[in-house]
Amino acid sequence: MDKKVFTISLVIIFILGLGIGYFFGVFKTAPVSEKEPKSETFEPQKIKSVYGEIVELGDNNFKVKIAPLPIPDFQEKFPERIVKIIAGTKIIKQVSKSQEELRKEIDALAEKGIRNQPVPSSTEKEVIFNELKAGDNVFIEAAEEIRDKEEFEAEKVVVLFISQPSGQAPVSQ
Give the end-to-end CA distance of the chain in Å, rounded to a whole number. Answer: 103
Contact (CB, 8 A) for 124 and 141: no
The residue type at 40: E
**Does residue 168 fall inside a structural domain?**
no
Is 59 in the same domain as 116? yes
Helices and strands, number each (H, E), in the chain = 3, 6
Of the candidate ranges 23-27, 96-100, 137-141, the one whose mean pLDDT is the lowest: 23-27
Is 64 in the same domain as 129? yes
pLDDT tens digits along 48-79: 999 999 999 999 999 999 887 777 666 677 78
Beta-strand ranges (E) seen in the chain are: 49-57, 61-66, 80-96, 122-126, 137-142, 151-162
Is 97 in the same domain as 123? yes
**Does residue 44 fall inside a structural domain?**
no
**Does residue 170 fall inside a structural domain?**
no
- Indicate the pTM of the whole model: 0.61
**Domain around 7:** 1-38
Instruction: Supply the pLDDT for residue 20.
Output: 81
Using CA atoms, how far apart are residues 47 and 67, in angstroms rounded to an integer?
Answer: 14
Using CA atoms, how far apart are residues 44 and 146, in angstroms rounded to an integer?
Answer: 12
Using CA atoms, how far apart are residues 20 and 17, in angstroms rounded to an integer?
Answer: 5
Is 20 in the same domain as 71? no
pLDDT tens digits along 101-132: 888 988 888 888 888 878 888 888 899 999 99
Is 24 in the same domain as 55? no
Instruction: Supply the pLDDT for residue 166.
Output: 47
How many structural domains is the chain composed of? 2
**Does residue 17 fall inside a structural domain?**
yes
